[in-house]
């Protein structure tokens, strides 16, 4: 009686090798694996795609759209008219690209970060000084964040200009507005995390607006919810961290899904001149006007991935064009002179300078954003053609111009009044960035120990010792000249060696104050030879 085996090993590939030979078996098996992974494309199909062969019939390149998870989200073909740079400029796609880019770099940075004021800043020092590729990652995450804000804003502007928010795409626009808000707040909430002076004060400026909500009790309550305490501290940082890494990305992903679903359902909006007024033909793409996702759209997208990734990598590495700033540790007691909101909120800061905090900080932004949210529901003009939308486009251009002016007004160049001597010294040794004094080559320090001032003899003497130092005294003199109240005033600078490798710079300005009494402004700056502020 034959015993039944309790265990039997059977490798079908061995049978195949015996039957067909090694080479054929390997080719067939590879093909099989590849077509499972690509949900329908064999090695030969992929090579055909890459070579640019015309699609065979029946077209195997549509299979991944039907069977695969990732490509089932993408249309099988696009209309020829949306394949060129105009009208989309790829801005929507680039917004998603930057979002994904931020998620990847952000996840890696999360490994090295703890959201607590006790260690957050130390984490930055660790990332910068101890983690290989730490600065690189941090720079990429920051430049990607700026890129995402730019792309999302431009995408919205483009959608407005081509009238693509009109029926039937009103809700797509609405979800896009949600995504704009998510983008702005993602970037804004990320600002706080390094816990340096820049983050604390930039975010404080933004958060101070909620405090203005009337009545006062409500404002105070909302402020408490946002900051977690009357001032940013443990609770506030944790809240912003959770918003940044969890809540906002989640909302962003969900609304990206809804937004893109609507884009597919309605089809990519065609250039305004491609269809009759009042018509929307984007969903029905005639056979002769189809560009298939594989290979045309796919290679374009891959090209953009490589192009933008390489560009960003270049900017933060070899090109040395962009680095995420890191200022001194956050200090709730010291407000640096000239703190500003992040650049994309400067227009808000500009509005706040116009007048009332409630009107310009809450009502106006509320009206502007509210107006944008519901734009497609009341702007019902049927034509998307530019010639028929002169009023709307003019208003749009006007808004862009006003925002630019407001952005300028948000910078310290407009309407900030502090004491003149303080401004003069801040121009040389600012609190928010290294500035001219710190950019000076430290090798000069030992040579310039002594007393200096802004007279021409002193500057000439300084130039002989070091042109860079002469330049600095020159700047000192010209900064003093800028202020009427400092007419004829001589600025003094005493340099002394203070400790081993540490130098002390005493700025002294004797001037006549607004009350007619003479006054003295003094500021001491300590600089170490190895401060590594760069710029030399």
Partner 1 sequence: MTWRVIVSSLLALASIVMLAIVAVNEPARMKKFDEGYQARSIEAGAAIFHANCISCHGENGEGGIAPTLNRADLFDPNGRIKEVGWNGTVENFIYTTISGGRPLSFLTYQNNKMPTWSQEYGGPLRIDEVRNVTAYVMNYAKNWEVKEGEATPVPTIDAVGDSITESALPAGDPVRGEELVTKLGCLGCHQTAGGAGPAWFADQTANGEGIGTRAGNRFGEAGYTGAATTAEEYLRESIVQPNANVVNKEDGTPYIAGVMPQNYGTERLEAQDLADIIAYLLTLK
Distance CA 255, CA 406 (A): 30
Whole-number minimum distance, CB 108 to partner 1, in Å? 14
Q: Does 494 bind partner 1 (CB under 8 A)?
A: no
Restricted to residues 299-318, the positions that interact with partner 1 (CB under 8 A) are 299-300, 302-303, 305-307, 309-310, 313-314, 317-318
Kindly state whether residue 54 participates in binding partner 1, applying the rule CB under 8 A.
Answer: no
- Binding residue (CB under 8 A) for partner 1 from 74, 90, 338, 528: 528
Question: 237, 116 in Cβ contact below 8 A?
Answer: yes
133 contributes a contact to partner 1 by CB under 8 A: yes
Please work out, in degrees rounded to the nearest 5, the angle formed at the alpha carbon of residue 387 by the alpha carbons of 381 and 391: 60
Using alpha carbons, select from 272, 293, 304, 301 the residue that is nearest to residue 79.
Answer: 293
**Stretch in the footprint of partner 1 (CB under 8 A) among 118-126, 177-185, 214-222, 230-238:** 118-126
Which region among 18-26, 267-275, 385-393, 493-501 touches partner 1 (by CB under 8 A)? 493-501
Q: Give bridge partners of residue 509 from the DSSP assignment.
A: 491, 521
Question: Please, which residue, 310 or 422, has the CB nearer to partner 1?
Answer: 310
Task: Provide the 3-class DSSP secondary structure of residue 329.
Answer: strand
- Residue 514, both tokens: 């607004």
Cβ-based nearer residue to partner 1, 230 or 534: 534
Asked whether 448 and 466 are in contact (CB, 8 A), the reply is yes
498 binds partner 1 (CB under 8 A): yes
DSSP 372-440: HHHHHHH---S---GGGGHHHHHHHHHHHHHHHHHHHHHSTTSS----HHHHHHHHHS-SSS-HHHHHS
Q: Least CB distance from residue 117 to partner 1, whole Å?
A: 9
3-state DSSP call for residue 204?
helix
- Contact pick of 163, 206, 295, 435 for partner 1 (by CB under 8 A): 295
**Closest CB to partner 1 among 1 and 318?**
318
Q: Which residues contact 213 (CB under 8 A, 6 or more apart)?
A: 219, 222, 358, 362
Gap between the Cα atoms of 179 and 98, Å rounded? 13
Closest CA relative to residue 134, chosen from 380, 268, 317? 317
Does 506 contact partner 1 by CB under 8 A?
A: no
Examine residue 130 and tell whether it contacts partner 1 (CB under 8 A).
yes
Whichever of 174 and 292 has its CB closer to partner 1, that residue is: 292
Integer CA distances (angstroms), 523 to 225, 362, 425, 430, 488, in order: 38, 38, 8, 11, 20
Q: Is 261 in the site for partner 1 (CB under 8 A)?
A: no
Residue 526 interacting with partner 1 (CB under 8 A): yes
Beta carbon of residue 82, minimum distance to partner 1 (angstroms, whole number): 17
Shortest distance in whole angstroms from residue 137 CB to partner 1: 10
| Binding-site member from 50, 229, 416, 447 for partner 1 (CB under 8 A) | 50
Q: In the range 334-393, which residues lie near partner 1 by CB under 8 A? A: none
Distance set, CA 1 to CA 4, 8, 9, 343 (Å) = 9, 18, 22, 86
Exactly one of 16, 31, 108, 136 binds partner 1 (CB under 8 A); that residue is 136
Of 424, 427, 430, 472, which is closest to residue 448 (Cα–Cα)?
Answer: 472
502 counts as binding partner 1 under rule CB under 8 A: yes
Q: Is 114 in the site for partner 1 (CB under 8 A)?
A: no
Task: Give the nearest distance from C-beta 508 to partner 1 in angstroms.
Answer: 15
Shortest Cβ distance from residue 49 to partner 1 (Å)? 9
The single residue listed with the structure tokens 């500021």 is: 523
Question: Which CB atom, from 2 or from 111, has the smaller least distance to partner 1?
Answer: 111
Q: How many residues does the chain have?
A: 536
- Which residues of the chain form contacts with partner 1 (CB under 8 A)? 50-52, 118, 121-122, 125, 128-130, 132-136, 295-296, 299-300, 302-303, 305-307, 309-310, 313-314, 317-318, 328-329, 331, 498-502, 504, 524, 526-533
């Amino acid at each position: 009686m034959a015993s039944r085996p309790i265990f039997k090993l059977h490798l079908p590939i061995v049978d195949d090798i015996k039957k067909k030979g090694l080479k054929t078996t390997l080719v067939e098996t590879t093909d099989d694996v590849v077509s499972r992974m690509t949900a329908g494309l064999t090695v030969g199909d992929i090579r055909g795609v890459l070579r640019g062969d015309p699609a065979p019939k029946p077209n195997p390149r549509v299979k991944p759209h039907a069977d695969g998870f990732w490509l089932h989200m993408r249309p099988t073909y696009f209309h020829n008219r949306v394949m060129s740079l105009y009208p989309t400029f790829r801005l929507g796609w680039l917004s998603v690209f930057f979002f994904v880019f931020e998620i990847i770099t952000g996840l890696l940075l999360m490994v090295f970060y703890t959201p607590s004021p006790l260690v957050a800043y130390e984490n930055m020092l660790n990332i910068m000084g101890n983690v290989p590729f730490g600065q690189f990652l941090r720079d990429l995450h920051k430049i990607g964040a700026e890129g995402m804000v730019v792309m999302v804003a431009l995408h919205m502007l483009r959608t407005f200009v081509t009238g693509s928010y009109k029926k039937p795409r009103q809700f797509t626009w609405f979800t896009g507005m949600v995504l704009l808000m998510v983008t702005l707040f993602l970037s804004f909430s990320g600002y706080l995390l390094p816990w340096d002076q820049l983050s604390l004060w930039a975010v404080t400026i933004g958060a101070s607006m909620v405090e203005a909500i009337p009545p006062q009790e409500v404002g105070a309550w909302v402020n408490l919810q946002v900051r977690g305490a009357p001032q940013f501290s443990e609770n506030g940082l944790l809240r912003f961290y959770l918003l940044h890494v969890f809540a906002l990305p989640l909302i962003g992903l969900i609304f990206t899904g809804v937004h893109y679903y609507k884009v597919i359902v309605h089809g990519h909006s065609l250039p305004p001149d491609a269809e009759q007024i009042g018509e929307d033909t984007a969903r029905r793409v005639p056979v002769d006007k189809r560009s298939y996702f594989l290979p045309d759209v796919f290679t374009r997208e891959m090209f953009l991935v490589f192009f933008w990734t390489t560009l960003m990598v270049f900017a933060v590495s070899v090109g040395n064009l962009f680095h995420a700033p890191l200022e001194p540790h956050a200090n709730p007691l010291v407000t640096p002179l000239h703190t500003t909101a992040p650049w994309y909120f400067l227009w808000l800061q500009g509005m706040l300078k116009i007048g009332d905090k409630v009107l310009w900080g809450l009502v106006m932004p509320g009206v502007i954003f509210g107006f944008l949210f519901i734009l497609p529901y009341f702007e019902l003009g049927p034509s998307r053609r530019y010639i028929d939308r002169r009023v709307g486009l003019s208003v749009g251009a006007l808004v862009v111009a006003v925002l630019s002016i407001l952005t300028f007004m948000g910078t310290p160049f407009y309407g900030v009044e502090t004491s003149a001597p303080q401004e003069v010294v801040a121009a040389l040794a600012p609190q928010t960035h290294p500035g001219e004094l710190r950019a000076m080559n430290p090798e000069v320090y030992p040579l310039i120990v002594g007393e200096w001032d802004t007279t021409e003899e002193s500057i000439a003497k300084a130039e002989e010792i070091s042109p860079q130092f002469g330049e600095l005294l020159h700047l000192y003199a010209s900064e003093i000249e800028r202020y009427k109240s400092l007419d004829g005033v001589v600025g003094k600078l005493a340099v002394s060696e203070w400790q081993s490798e540490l130098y002390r710079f005493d700025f002294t300005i004797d001037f006549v104050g607004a009350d007619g009494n003479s006054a003295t402004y003094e500021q001491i700056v300590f600089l170490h030879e190895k401060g590594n502020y760069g710029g030399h």
